[in-house]
Amino acid sequence: MKRLLDFDPLRGVSCFWEYKAGTNEVVLTHEQDVSKILDQNKALTNDDDRTKRGIDKDFWHYATIPTVVEIEWKNKFGVDLNNPKHKKKIFQLLNHPDYKYLKTTNLVHTIKEDDAS
């Protein structure tokens, strides 16, 4: 049986607790309606002039990463969005086809090893 453990109204993230008797496991899952974020990302991606203006003014909104993806990356890849040492891996994930929907541009940014500190 799945039970709501917590809800973050600011981010719209629900945390559920579930006990699986067959395997004697407790599982925590996080759910979030990311449709608005993804729709906004897609609209921004399709606006090439916005990207050009942003780069010209030394500011570039490259991606919007929902909280549930942040949690997934932490659990699956050990990537912490708040750790400056993880910048290179963050951009590698953002540029991977599985996560391209998080980007707000069609351009690609990479981090060199000496920039990853």
In the predicted model, is pLDDT for residue 2 greater than 70?
yes
Domain that holds residue 7: 1-32
The string of pLDDT tens digits covering residues 60-76 is: 788 999 999 999 999 99
In the predicted model, is pLDDT for residue 53 greater than 90?
no
Tokens matching residue 33:
């309606």
Examine the domain organization and report whether 41 and 20 are in the same domain. Answer: no
Examine the domain organization and report whether 110 and 54 are in the same domain. Answer: yes
Examine the domain organization and report whether 111 and 90 are in the same domain. Answer: yes
Q: Range with the lowest mean pLDDT among 6-10, 30-34, 59-63?
A: 59-63
B/e letters for 57-80, b = 16+ CB within 10 Å, e = fewer, are: eeebebbbbbbbbbbbbeeeeebe
Q: Is the pTM of this model over 0.75?
A: yes
